[in-house]
Structure 1
Amino acid sequence: MAAADRELQYMSGFHNDFQTEALPGALPIGRNSPQRAPYGLYPEQLSGTAFTAPRAANRRSWLYRTQPSVVQAEYRRSGTAGLQLPNCDEPPDPNPMRWDPLPIPQAPIDFIAGLLTYCVNGDIATQAGCGIHLYACNQDMTDTFFYDADGELLIVPQLGELLVHTEMGRLALAPGEIAVIPRGVKFQVRLAPGTKTARGYVCENFGTLLQLPERGPIGANGLASARDFLTPIAAYEQRMGDFTLLAKFQGHLWACTLDHSPLDVVAWHGNYAPYKYPLTRFNVINTVSFDHPDPSIFTVLSSPSATPGTANLDFVIFPPRWLVAEDTFRPPYFHRNVMSEFMGLVHGAYDAKAEGFQPGGASLHNCLTPHGPDAKAFKTATQTPLQPVYLSDTLAFMFESRYPYRVTAQALNASFRQHDYVQVWQDLAPQFDPPPG
């Protein structure tokens, strides 16, 4: 466990019913909403699912705070240059696309203002699909806070360390880790000491809450383990002043003023809370004989849809791992998939791309768009003698969805989009060596 994690006193688990207090006796025992809460605190429930959701799927937490959330001014429309509406005007595009890394900002900009929406799918109003954003920031959110009423936020840092201050505690977040901020939870993002600039990816999940995928025939062990997910304890602040609370609601950004910090939760209990996960804890499952397993074996978290086995959103990683298969084309093969795939790279190289796919960059292959290794990667993979190989310097990931992605105009027209991406396959010459006669 990292030093920052020890300092923040994380608790292990995944969607367990936690209880935590920043002051002794702040958490009521036996009554969620007593007539008089300890220390004069206000009880407030935050529900992430319907009240009547089945017990196994029900997500809610009770917060005990110095002032209830209703103490705020009227919301008014706001906006930033980067965040886009879910139903962007651009039609779904079947062309494969790739982008260089999101440029590092020169002017001061914080996490929310530094978000740039690349693509969206589904529909916020019916709680289906997701949005994908990249962020690049160099400034703390000090007097500004944010919550997302449209979906939960899966944050994947690529450069620089973040300190995510939430209503329910603090998360220290570095490249190689992920964090999930539940829908509706208020938070702000600051740069960790020593970090000047931060960059990474955010997937905004409109659908069913992310959960651990079923292991099926894999059995009880492998993939991500519940014990490695970390949830913060209560850590409140009492600050008075002029603050702004931003809210994303039905694709629009709204703002209201506050005279106090909303991070004033002194105690809480429940199973609806922010969490983080170190990707190094993922137990990779792979072949030890022949053939190339489907990428679903690398699924960390999944948002199911109404169709069994067809995800609203899968978060899949390609971490360091051994390749030992014999007589097998080892990189991801050429394929056409009914799922749509948005990929990013945290560090190192991706084994299906010889060049052009850089850390901080991204690629998109919509449903049934053909894709696979570039010409150089194909040649290397088919001509290299097969020996056990350890891929040591790599961490790629994929946001995979059943819904086609619509790319925003700002991503389509970005100066850092690789408009010649399709050229990486043009040197794949015809190959056919039939027997004579």
Structure 2
Amino acid sequence: MSQTQEFDYLHGFGNEHETEALPGALPQGRFSPQKVAYGLYAEQFSSTAFTAPRAHNRRTWMYRIRPSVAQGEYQALDCKAQQQVRTAPIDEVVTPPSMMRWDAAAMPEAPTDFIDGWVTMAGNGSAAGQTGVGVHTYCANQNMDKRYFCNADGELLIVPQQGALLLFTECGKLHVPSGYIAVIPRGMKFKVELPEGSARGYICENYGSLLELPERGPVGANGYANDRDFQYPTAAYEDLEGEFELVTKYSGHYYRCDIDHSPLDVVAWVGNTAPYRYELARFNAMNTVTFDHPDPSIFTVLTSPSGTPGVANLDFVIFPPRWMVAEDTFRPPWYHRNVMSEFMGLIEGVYDAKEDGFVPGGCSLHNSMSPHGPEAAVFEKASTAKLEPVRYQDTMAFMFESRYAFNVSKFALDGPLRQHNYPDCWKGLKKFYNGDIDAGIE
């Protein structure tokens, strides 16, 4: 390995970064000189088309010990993930408009690494058509040993819920504990180790436009997620030879090939497409200080735009610790139906609209125009609560919100984790109307 510090990071979302693990490895004044220092190969890694506008163009030049093409022939791989993972379009079952919720998955008993620990819950759009997303959970209890992974289908947004991930990527290392997120570009090779022995979390596989920071609009120059708080790895390479396996997910199928060296052999890189991490506690939440409930879009951390301005392929939204001070206002999320579809997860604590049954590691789905809102007990509690400043703390929920309706997997629809009694949380809603203008909860 290089002699750079453990977990040394570069800052700034989408910035052009340059980093080298050996002095002088980066060419000066040009990207592909006739001969690269240290006998390295120059290789360009592009996450957008070559001709994408400058503001949206993502590419990185890598200077590596061997070029990526130095690998064996791909062969179909019938691994555990091939049986559990679905890639959009997902049509193995008909998805009803029902509101759905799931328990958290238990840790596997058999040795399971990050690749084999994926299970698909839902998805929309089409990986081939480069629209929509796939939503998966993962549970792992084993390091990836002599095994590397490349997802050619989409950009990966990883949300750890329990246990840290140590990501070894072509661009360097990222330590991603619970409370952080990580994004790995489509096609980037990496492996995962588990510093705490096991890990559980969520994955959003983005097939559409690359994730970017949302515009702040009338909020102005400050607030939400700040560019400087996103961290990119510094160059740190593996110069290893031996028998290794590269697993690639491509068009929803898994393939493997032999490789006689570590593919994480990038000694230096310069560019603006690379894996990054972000600590969710750094999000600067905006909220009302007068009355009424603002839309959840004010909690958007990252967005993947669609072809329609203001309507996202994917919004990654969080509900972090924050103060609630609104006057004469029902403070939990209100009852609503929405053109957007919402897949939610809980990292820790309690979500204010669902105090019972929505557990850390679990998830829920409210598809387009499916009604949802606080459970009956939460409604009555919030309707009679003393309206004083309240601190929501020790909680972190999130939402993958998309303009496209989600189709669920057969596992999600019929598997053991589904809470078939989820709609019962609204059965206790009472009729308070009696024609009296002062009617309501006493």
TM class by smaller structure: over 0.9
Note the alpha carbon deviations across 1:50-108, whole angstroms, 9 max, x for none.
00000000000000000000111111112423212323322232101000101111111
- Residue 136 of structure 1 corresponds to 139
* Alpha-carbon distance in structure 2 between the residues aligned to 1:163 and 1:354: 32
- Residue 221 of structure 1 corresponds to 222
* Alpha-carbon distance in structure 2 between the residues aligned to 1:391 and 1:73: 53
- Residue 35 of structure 1 corresponds to 34
- Residue 58 of structure 2 corresponds to 59
- Residue 87 of structure 2 corresponds to 85
2:158–2:182 CA contact under 8 A, matched in 1 = yes
- Residue 419 of structure 1 corresponds to 420
* Alpha-carbon distance in structure 1 between the residues aligned to 2:302 and 2:103: 26
Q: Following TM superposition, by how much is the alpha carbon of 1:413 offset from its aligned partner in structure 2, in angstroms?
A: 1.8
* Alpha-carbon distance in structure 2 between the residues aligned to 1:307 and 1:77: 38
* Alpha-carbon distance in structure 1 between the residues aligned to 2:87 and 2:389: 47
* Alpha-carbon distance in structure 2 between the residues aligned to 1:281 and 1:52: 34
- Residue 309 of structure 1 corresponds to 310
* Alpha-carbon distance in structure 1 between the residues aligned to 2:416 and 2:165: 27
2:87–2:127 CA contact under 8 A, matched in 1 = no
- Residue 172 of structure 1 corresponds to 175
Superposed counterparts of 1:240-279, under 5 Å: 240-279=241-280
> Are 1:337 and 2:300 matched, yes or no?
no
SS in 1 for 2:380: helix
With structure 1 as the length reference, what TM-score do the two structures score? 0.97
* Alpha-carbon distance in structure 2 between the residues aligned to 1:130 and 1:6: 35
* Alpha-carbon distance in structure 2 between the residues aligned to 1:38 and 1:379: 69
* Alpha-carbon distance in structure 1 between the residues aligned to 2:217 and 2:6: 37
> Are 1:145 and 2:148 matched, yes or no?
yes
Q: Following TM superposition, by how much is the alpha carbon of 1:410 offset from its aligned partner in structure 2, in angstroms?
A: 1.2
SS in 1 for 2:383: helix
Q: Which amino acid in the other structure matches residue 46 of structure 1?
A: F
* Alpha-carbon distance in structure 2 between the residues aligned to 1:191 and 1:403: 34
With structure 2 as the length reference, what TM-score do the two structures score? 0.96
2:350–2:358 CA contact under 8 A, matched in 1 = yes
* Alpha-carbon distance in structure 2 between the residues aligned to 1:103 and 1:153: 23
SS in 2 for 1:7: coil
CA RMSD across the alignment: 1.1
The change in CA–CA distance for 1:22 and 1:6 in structure 2 (over 3 A counts) is closer
2:87–2:134 CA contact under 8 A, matched in 1 = no
* Alpha-carbon distance in structure 2 between the residues aligned to 1:139 and 1:413: 28
* Alpha-carbon distance in structure 2 between the residues aligned to 1:135 and 1:82: 11
* Alpha-carbon distance in structure 2 between the residues aligned to 1:7 and 1:288: 42
* Alpha-carbon distance in structure 2 between the residues aligned to 1:311 and 1:91: 24
- Residue 440 of structure 2 corresponds to none
* Alpha-carbon distance in structure 2 between the residues aligned to 1:6 and 1:155: 24
Q: Which amino acid in the other structure matches residue 83 of structure 1?
A: V
SS in 2 for 1:337: coil
Note the alpha carbon deviations across 1:12-32, whole angstroms, 9 max, x for none.
111111000000011111111
Note the alpha carbon deviations across 1:161-202, whole angstroms, 9 max, x for none.
11000000000001110000000100011011xx12100000
1:291–1:329 CA contact under 8 A, matched in 2 = yes
* Alpha-carbon distance in structure 1 between the residues aligned to 2:145 and 2:42: 26
Note the alpha carbon deviations across 1:112-145, whole angstroms, 9 max, x for none.
1000010110011110000000000000002111
Q: Following TM superposition, by how much is the alpha carbon of 1:381 offset from its aligned partner in structure 2, in angstroms?
A: 0.5
- Residue 109 of structure 1 corresponds to 112
* Alpha-carbon distance in structure 2 between the residues aligned to 1:111 and 1:414: 21
1:320–1:393 CA contact under 8 A, matched in 2 = yes
Q: Following TM superposition, by how much is the alpha carbon of 1:158 offset from its aligned partner in structure 2, in angstroms?
A: 0.4
SS in 2 for 1:227: helix
1:93–1:407 CA contact under 8 A, matched in 2 = no
Note the alpha carbon deviations across 1:374-422, whole angstroms, 9 max, x for none.
0111111001111100001110000000001110001112212101111
1:132–1:201 CA contact under 8 A, matched in 2 = yes
1:341–1:364 CA contact under 8 A, matched in 2 = yes
- Identify the range of structure 1 (250-259 vs 14-23) with the bigger mean alpha-carbon deviation: 250-259
> Are 1:18 and 2:17 matched, yes or no?
yes
Alignment: residue pair count = 430
1:210–1:301 CA contact under 8 A, matched in 2 = yes
- Residue 164 of structure 2 corresponds to 161
* Alpha-carbon distance in structure 2 between the residues aligned to 1:308 and 1:416: 36
* Alpha-carbon distance in structure 2 between the residues aligned to 1:234 and 1:162: 18
The answer for unaligned runs of 5 or more in structure 2 is 438-442
Percent of pairs with identical residues = 59
- Residue 8 of structure 2 corresponds to 9
1:313–1:402 CA contact under 8 A, matched in 2 = yes
Q: Following TM superposition, by how much is the alpha carbon of 1:213 offset from its aligned partner in structure 2, in angstroms?
A: 0.2
